Structure 1
């Protein structure tokens, strides 16, 4: 049977962590995800076994409570899948209530003049009252209004908003409520499963979905245990600076991309949206997490070296086919580079290698 796992814990902890959490030093402007990774998916210039003493990792026994899949596990995954396929209905015949999700347009003005970044440009944006973080009581003032209505609200920017021309200023926003957005969960039926998941997951009915989810969830649990086992039974003498720098560079890149999107500086973005003063403060927040991810990367490479596991382009293709359910990873390669994708595949190859000899209690 084709292996088909929607996502596994190791991908979440390692791959997504480094996709999302990596940071910056003075070389960040030259940072790319594949820069410090060689053609085998190893950290360039690093022999991990010089830094790591591995314990016995083949033939491990996995305790029953660490691989058992419960009904609650399966139902929780089904609920998540249904939530991902909510049907959105546009409501226009009632007043806005607190907690509603709305599609709105707005134009902001200070002293009667529209300011940069203060308009949706007529494209509409979704906000949720009580959840989305806007200044002052911006969203709360929408309660009671009707979709289709256009009206003005008054707000005051915080003194430390981050833009001199807006700090502490009173502003008027002209609001148009386009519609209220109500999301409805689909009904779980064989027809829904077949229509939604037959091509991507090969599921045509509920029973088939549950059986496959069982395997996926068990593999997640086993992968999680293997990672914990490796960390507990390995001695790391030192983490090479190249891996630590990668983590830092990747964090900064993530936030820099957001800052570029909003057309503000990185420090302005961090102050306004992340509530940290600057890049150094941001990296201090991520220091422990980054070190943990770097340590795990190092241990995984040490196992790969010990077992003579190296990743090729074919392994990347197999990884995407099995775990991302696609044969076209061009977009990922354009963003991250082939060698980073090899690192991603290598981590999974190490887990699969260890799991192949593991004994389920």
Structure 2
């Protein structure tokens, strides 16, 4: 039985649909259902009319309670996008490793360090439990890796392929599936074979047989280009996030709608629960396995905080759009959705069917505000300069606080 990895919180903002370019809301118009047709700019306009809210009215509503601070000339930390030879080699190694084959050792006894293929059926108090059966599909396990609970792997050592035996192991007290936590389990285990890896040979033939390139040189150039593009995209996202955070901090926001934040948070929780069901897992196990949280209330608070920041972002973006006299056309909205779908490898229709028409227009407008105003006028600084600036700002803040405290004491 595999251990549950305790990972850090995956960037939950991604689950909010489209990060800073989106709202939290799912589309709730009457285009859902089996008769749903493909959404276009005309659908957007139709929905807006039905909702009796134009993008300008939407902007006005969210901008109303924002007092803008500085939003031009914002400094952000420049990210290095240079691709190293080691990074290229790592990708090549992954490519070659993925094409390796193996022989099956069916005679020798398994030892620590071997990769074995096993099947097992787990039970507690004689009752088989969910997720404890490989159903004959086989599972590769490196003996000594610590991937399975307790001393499960140690009990395979010494057995030969073809043998069936019982492994007894105890689930940890903090196991993600609470019904199994601390319980002793028996696993009827069959050792199918020991894997003997046969690495692939990296050459022109391997490349031409498995890629669109004819030589290792062409393939390596493509890997470098891909890595460079990935780093540039990551650097842009980091810069925009840095800028947005600073712009929000420079603003004064009042009357933040707790009801809207709560509705968005609940919607996201519902979505994550659906994902858990799709994986055949209960919600508590799912959030522990994928997000590293074993407390549902703490996880709910994290989601609430994310939705709260998302709403602040929307209010500020709308305030800047209003101040700059920016709006967005149907054509720009369609272009935005097409670009987003292509970059994220999703279907345009699925995006339109999951985000309300007016929010789609806002998304396109926010994208425009970021690229045509905030990022365009921002200033890139290296990490050393940024650290010095932050230290100076922190020192000034402390000085101001000390001055205020001295004044209050004098009074």
TM-score, normalised via structure 2 length: 0.58
Q: What SS does the aligned partner of 2:279 have?
A: helix
The answer to whether the Cα contact below 8 Å between 1:20 and 1:254 also exists between their aligned partners in 2 is: no
Paired positions, count? 329
CA gap 1:109/1:17 in 2 versus in 1, 3 angstroms:
closer
Pick which of 216-225 and 74-83 moved more.
Answer: 74-83
Residue of structure 2 aligned with 1:315, choices 316, 332, 336: 336
1:24 corresponding residue in structure 2: none
2:142 counterpart of 1:118:
no
Residue of structure 2 aligned with 1:352, choices 371, 375, 382: 371
> Higher helix fraction: Structure 1 or Structure 2?
2
CA distance in 2 between partners of 1:349 and 1:13 (Å): 23
Q: What SS does the aligned partner of 1:47 have?
A: helix
Q: Which runs of 5+ in 2 are unaligned?
A: 1-9, 30-43, 49-53, 382-411
CA gap 1:282/1:356 in 2 versus in 1, 3 angstroms:
closer
1:98-109 residue pairs with structure 2 within 5 A? 103-109=117-123
Give the CA deviation at 1:139. Answer: 3.8
The answer to whether the Cα contact below 8 Å between 1:86 and 1:183 also exists between their aligned partners in 2 is: no
- Please say which structure displays the higher CA radius of gyration: 2
1:60-139 residue pairs with structure 2 within 5 A? 60=73, 66=78, 68-72=80-84, 76=87, 79=90, 83=94, 86-87=97-98, 89-90=101-102, 92-93=104-105, 103-125=117-139, 134-139=148-153
The answer to whether the Cα contact below 8 Å between 2:328 and 2:361 also exists between their aligned partners in 1 is: no
Q: Which runs of 5+ in 1 are unaligned?
A: 1-11, 22-30
Q: What SS does the aligned partner of 2:221 have?
A: helix
1:1-361 residue pairs with structure 2 within 5 A? 16-19=14-17, 33-35=26-28, 47-55=61-69, 57=71, 60=73, 66=78, 68-72=80-84, 76=87, 79=90, 83=94, 86-87=97-98, 89-90=101-102, 92-93=104-105, 103-125=117-139, 134-146=148-160, 148-158=162-172, 168-178=182-192, 180=195, 187=202, 192=207, 196=211, 205-207=219-221, 209-211=223-225, 213-234=227-248, 235-238=251-254, 239-241=256-258, 242-243=260-261, 245-251=263-269, 253-259=271-277, 261-262=279-280, 264=282, 266-267=283-284, 278-286=295-303, 288-304=305-321, 306=324, 307-309=326-328, 312-321=333-342, 323-324=343-344, 328-329=347-348, 336-337=354-355, 339=357, 348-354=367-373, 355-356=375-376
Q: What SS does the aligned partner of 2:231 have?
A: helix
C-alpha deviations, 1:150-187, integer Å up to 9, x for none? Answer: 322012345676566x5654332112344549696985
Give the CA deviation at 1:351. Answer: 3.6
Q: What SS does the aligned partner of 2:123 have?
A: strand
What RMSD, in angstroms, separates the aligned Cα atoms of the two structures?
5.1
Give the CA deviation at 1:212. Answer: 5.8
Give the CA deviation at 1:250. Answer: 1.5
CA distance in 2 between partners of 1:188 and 1:357 (Å): 47
